[in-house]
């Protein structure tokens, strides 16, 4: 059976959820897909399908980053759900480094917590351009003044780390109630916060400028094997384009680069004619984690493994 083709009919933007553990990031991610599914803009992803690893189910927290997709009226979004627990901050950084904008999730019942502040700081350090705030669990707070105080504290934190805290939209709602309602109507008291959030992302997070005309470059995020298809590597294309049948070069895993041929390009289990800058793609080929894929047509100046968020530095001459 032929795979579904990915249709490029809207601008592609990478966003994701960040914030303190248990403030509702994965619940919100699932709720977005649930509400937009009713509008024909997303495939529904349950909470358990996002936090699918056995350890995640056992501990009730997100450990690895997870990817979902959905559409607004204006854009196609690739959404990264990041872990909030301090023990998995490296995974959060990996997710944040791919974002064109972030959704900061803050529990209205708890207010900003240590990982709230740390995630905002890290978002600044990996150069996430802008942030939208979702004030979650507002149904658990009866005092309107308390909600105002939480909002003020969030804005202060954003200003501290050089985001435009006074101008950033803050959407109030309950991700749990939105995910349970499933009516998908804009005027629904439970679901409207999801539409308000997506509208805020459309209007506040700028459409990124992609370097599509430069040599192809993609840091490797993950590697896995599909029976009958071979090795798949995933990551966000930093610049350029890649097509099936093109030869690429793997840099950073060994002293010498490794050459291979791309046998397939997919995004969210849909086939692509080509992957381009900004796409979160899976490339079918022989590959190694921590490497970088570049076109053979261009000579490499420097390729050095270092510790850190992307674990590499590369200069293409």
266 has which bridge partners? 271, 282
Beta sheet of 66-71, edge-to-edge order: 66-71, 76-81, 12-18, 101-107, 131-136, 170-172
Tokens of 218: 């993609």
Of the residues 85, 117, 185, 204, only one is catalytic, namely 85
**Annotation marks residue 25 as catalytic:** yes
Q: At 173, list the tokens.
A: 């709602």
Marked catalytic residue, from 12, 25, 67, 241: 25
C-alpha 211/C-alpha 204 separation (Å) is 22
Q: How far apart are CA 192 and CA 184, in angstroms?
A: 8
Q: Residue 119 catalytic? A: no
Which residues are CB-neighbours of 44 under 8 A, at least 6 positions away? 33, 34, 37
For the chain, the distance separating the N- and C-terminal CA atoms, rounded to the nearest angstrom, is 43
Decide if 160 is catalytic.
no
Phi, psi of 206 (to 5 degrees): -70, 150
Quick check: is 156 catalytic? Answer: no
Residue 5 per-residue DSSP state = B
Catalytic residue (one of 22, 51, 130, 279): 22
Point out the residues that are catalytic.
Answer: 22, 25-26, 85
């Amino acid at each position: 059976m032929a795979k579904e083709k990915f249709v490029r009919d809207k601008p592609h933007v990478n966003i994701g959820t960040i914030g303190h553990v248990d403030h509702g990031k994965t619940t919100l991610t699932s709720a977005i897909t649930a509400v937009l599914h009713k509008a024909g803009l997303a495939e529904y992803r349950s909470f358990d399908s996002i936090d699918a690893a056995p350890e995640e189910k056992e501990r009730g927290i997100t450990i690895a980053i997870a990817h979902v997709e959905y559409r607004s009226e204006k854009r196609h979004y690739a959404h990264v759900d990041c872990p909030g627990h301090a023990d998995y901050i490296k995974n959060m950084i990996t997710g944040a480094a791919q974002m064109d904008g972030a959704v900061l999730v803050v529990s209205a019942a708890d207010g900003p917590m240590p990982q709230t502040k740390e995630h905002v700081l890290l978002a600044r350090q990996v150069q996430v351009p802008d942030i939208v705030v979702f004030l979650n669990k507002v149904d658990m707070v009866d005092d309107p003044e308390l909600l105002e105080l939480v909002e003020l504290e969030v804005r202060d934190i954003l200003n501290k780390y050089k985001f435009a805290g006074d101008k950033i939209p803050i959407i109030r709602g309950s991700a749990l109630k939105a995910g349970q309602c499933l009516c998908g109507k804009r005027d629904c008291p439970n679901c409207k916060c999801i539409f308000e959030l997506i509208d805020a992302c459309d209007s506040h997070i700028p459409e990124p400028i992609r370097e599509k005309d430069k040599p192809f470059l993609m840091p490797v995020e993950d590697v896995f094997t599909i029976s009958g298809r071979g090795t798949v590597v995933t990551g966000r294309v930093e610049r350029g384009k890649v097509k099936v049948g093109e030869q690429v070069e793997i840099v950073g895993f060994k002293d010498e680069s490794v050459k291979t041929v791309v046998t397939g390009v997919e995004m969210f289990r849909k086939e692509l004619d080509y992957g381009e800058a900004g796409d979160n793609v899976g490339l079918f080929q022989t590959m190694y984690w921590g490497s970088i894929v570049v076109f053979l047509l261009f000579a490499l100046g420097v390729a050095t493994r270092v510790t850190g968020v992307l674990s590499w530095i590369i200069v293409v001459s």
